[in-house]
Amino acid sequence: MVFALADPFIPTMRLQPLLASAALLLAAAAPLASAADAQLIVDASKPGPKISKYIYGQFSEHLGRCIYEGIWVGPDSPIPNTKGYRNDVLAALKQLKVPQLRWPGGCFADEYHWRDGIGPREKRPSIYNSNWGGVVENNHFGTHEFLELCEMLDIAPYICLNVGSGTVQEAQEWVEYMTSAADSPMANLRRANGRDKPWRVPFIAVGNESWGCGGNMRAEFCADNFLRYNTFIKNYGGDSARIQRIGCGSSGGDTDWTEKMMMIAGKQMDGLALHYYTLPSDSWKGSKGASIGFAEDHYFAALRYTLRMEEYLTKQLAAMDQYDPEKRVGMVVDEWGIWTDVEPGSNPGFLYQQNTIRDALLAALNFHIFHDHADRVTMANIAQIINVLQAMILTDKEKMILTPTYHAFEMYKPFQDATVLPIKLVTPDYAFGKEKIPAVSATAALATDGKVYVALVNVLPTESATVSATLVGLTAKGATGRILTAPAMDSHNTFAAPHAVQPAAFTGATVADGKLTVTLPAKSVVVLELK
């Protein structure tokens, strides 16, 4: 068993204030009782940056059954709906408190022409989705439908412009159509289509994956395109309604792309995107790995590979710091999550996969990484919200289920806009073969309601873990919380058993003499409120 002061979940700069106190704690502590004991310090006396609520954002692309059947069934559908939006999905998303939602893609965005999706639905032209499944869409879900959904659920819209196959004029007119209150051609076209008041659109991405499906561009060309398009993204609502512009960033560890984007266009950006998907097999060739029925090798591999998010963020942020030492430009991880093989019998282009307790653990580990970089990571979007990849919700015609990942997002709601509390974690390893990862992960924050929350993850598949936490700068008399766990590594919800994996009250935490002790079952996520 190996212990290290440098926990990979915590940036070095956050460790420095705690190293001395951690050393004293460890020197005074008795030997750990078992291989699954961990020690934690939570320091409320030195609050850190704010955790932007927008890191809990979602992604909705015209892909498979995400939009059609997932969100939109149309007002004439026998599936209960409000103005065409599924009632069960509306209720689930409202409970989730989704802070921002990205649309219409993804790769789809760079083939999407917004004028096709406005006006009377029966007159909208159908389009061919060449990226995802080769299906024909009727365009019944367009600009009005998306922005009205966001308005209904108090979600901040995040629009991705078509830079790959679109034009600057098309982008400029779309922004005017959505956000201008003037007596102007595009604003009047919006009024003619039934919407007088402009929408508030706080976030706009200038293209998507321009290095790939968004145009196969070089970084220099992409940066020049950003400058060109950005010139015509007007703040029609004035400074109070200023649009934040997000540049197209790299995939994973490609820092050369990041450096060129920042060098050429960084001064005009509000954010730079990053995409990183977790593959259980770490290979885009052949099988990525099954979403269920996997053995411990793929369980371990998925968790190990998702921790690369820490490595990639560290490298990307260092590259950004060269050109933006004031950290004005935010890092926007607007595509992340686990990508497995599709479910047998489903359309390969629809990317429909099941969702397990493993995936909920994976999501929580990423939350902790984003918290650790809260000074720079300002937004994130898991892919995707319904029926695609690591989805929150799965539907089958009139039926709907919530996934373990949905429950992880719901449990972490107190961390939205909370203030980071520095931690120091000493954790045993989870070893498999010749590789190992930390067995326990932790994060802590002071929420907007004035309460302190501590979240813990135990990734050990069969063994519990005990966490002994010293609380600095706060006094707690007790702790209450909820737990998400399951009996098997691939436990998941089905339409026949929709509640097989769901949160429950947690009774494994005690507070005595200023120390919090928590017993974490195997494969568990726990969120505690300190009393």
Active-site hit among 209, 259, 310, 410: 209
Active site residue 311: no
Low-confidence ranges of the chain (pLDDT < 50): 1-33
Q: Which among 454, 513, 516 is positioned nearest to 483, based on CA atoms?
A: 454
CATH number of 53-417: 3.20.20.80
SS3 category, 411: helix
CATH topology of domain 12-49+420-530: Immunoglobulin-like (2.60.40)
Ramachandran sector of residue 417 (left: φ over 0; alpha: ψ -120 to 50; beta: rest): left
Residue count of the chain, please give it: 531
Amino acid at 71: I
Token look-up 């509000």 returns: 270
Q: Where in the chain is the domain with CATH 2.60.40.1180?
A: 12-49+420-530
Active site residue 173: no
SS3 category, 435: strand
Give the Cβ contact number of residue 228 at 10 Å: 14
Active-site hit among 61, 335, 410, 529: 335
Q: Strands, E, within 397-523: which ranges? A: 399-402, 419-420, 423-426, 429-432, 435-438, 440-446, 452-458, 465-472, 479-484, 504-506, 509-512, 515-520
Calpha distance 267→263 (Å, rounded)? 8
Strand partners, 37: 466
Amino acid at 421: L
Give pLDDT, residue 238: 85
Q: Where in the chain is the domain with CATH 3.20.20.80?
A: 53-417
Calpha distance 421→251 (Å, rounded)? 30
Give pLDDT, residue 170: 98
- The token pair that represents 322 in the structure block: 């060269």
Per-residue pLDDT tens digits for 201-234: 999 999 999 999 999 999 999 999 999 999 999 9
Per-residue pLDDT tens digits for 470-501: 999 999 999 999 999 999 999 999 999 999 99
User: What is the value of pTM for the model shown?
Assistant: 0.93
